[in-house]
Amino acid sequence: MTEHAFRCNCRRFACALAAVGLGACTALQPPRVETPNQHVLAPAPLPKAARPQRDIVVEVAAPHAWPGFDTREIVYVREPYELDYFAASRWADTPARMLGPLLARALEETGSFRAVVALPSTVPADVRVDTEIQRLQQNFAAMPSRVELTLRVQLTDLRGRRVLATRVFEEVEASATEDAAGGVAAANVALQRALAAIADFCIAATGSR
C-alpha cells in the first residue's frame, strides 16, 4: 500500500468513527419535551356601580379546591365523573392560588369596605371570606363545549364568632373554540360574573352584621 493510499484510508476511518460517535451522542440525548402553554385566570374588572358602604375590614382567606381541581392541570370532561387533563396546556398556578388575589381585588373594586386584606395579615379584620372551588372544567359532552364553574363562599363574623352566610355560585360559559385556549377564555368570562355576584353577596350579608 502506498503512503497516499494509507493516508486516505486513515482519513476515511477517522470520519467513520466521528459519524458513529455523533450518532451515539444523539441516541443518548433525552427526547425533546414540548413546554406546555401557560394560562392564567385574569377576568375583567367589575363593572362600575354605586354600592352600599360598610365600615368593616374584610379578610380574604386562601381559597381551597376539591380533589381533582387542586392542580395546575386544566381539567376537561367527556364522560360523567371522569376527569381528564390537557397535555399541552396548564395553568400558570393552581386556580385556587390564582383566585385569592382576584377575589380581594373584586371586593376592593366595590369601594364598599374600609379595607380588604389577604391572609396572612396583621390588620385586625371584622369578617373573613372563605372560598372553595368545587368545579372548574371544560365539558365536551355537548357541542359547543362549555366551562362549568362552581364556587362555595362562606362569610364569618370574626368578632361575633358566627357564620353570617353561605352560598354556592354556579356559572356556565360556552367556549368559542374546542380547545384549552377557548376553555380558558370562557373560564375568565364565567369567573368575572361569579366575582361580581360574590361581591354583591358579601355586601348584602355584611349589612345585617
Per-residue model confidence as pLDDT tens digits over 62-88:
999 999 999 999 999 999 999 999 999
Task: Take residue 12 and report the three cell numbers written for it.
Answer: 476515511
Asked if 100 contacts 60 with a C-beta cutoff of 8 angstroms, the reply is yes
Residue type for position 168: V
Task: Take residue 160 and report the three cell numbers written for it.
Answer: 361575633
pLDDT reported for residue 35: 84
pLDDT reported for residue 120: 82
Task: Take residue 141 and report the three cell numbers written for it.
Answer: 359532552
With cell 354583591, the residue in question is: 200
pLDDT reported for residue 106: 97
> Which candidate, 176, 190, 62, 186, places its Cα nearest to that of 118?
62
CATH code: domain 37-206 is: 3.40.50.10610
H-helix or E-strand containing 77?
strand 73-77
Q: Given its phi and psi angles, is residue 68 left (phi above 0), alpha (psi -120 to 50 degrees) or beta?
A: left
Task: Take residue 140 and report the three cell numbers written for it.
Answer: 365536551
Cβ burial, residue 94 (10 Å; 0-12/13-18/19+): middle
Report domain extents, the chain.
1-33, 37-206
Rounded to whole angstroms, how far apart are CA atoms 143 and 175? Answer: 9
Q: What residues contact 191, with CB distance under 8 A and at least 6 apart?
A: 41, 43, 99, 102, 149, 171
Rounded to whole angstroms, how far apart are CA atoms 89 and 97? Answer: 18
Query: What's the predicted TM-score (pTM) here?
Result: 0.82
Rounded to whole angstroms, how far apart are CA atoms 59 and 111? Answer: 15
Residues of the chain with pLDDT under 70: 1-33, 208-209
With cell 380533589, the residue in question is: 67
Sign of CA dihedral 43, 45, 51, 52: positive
pLDDT reported for residue 149: 98
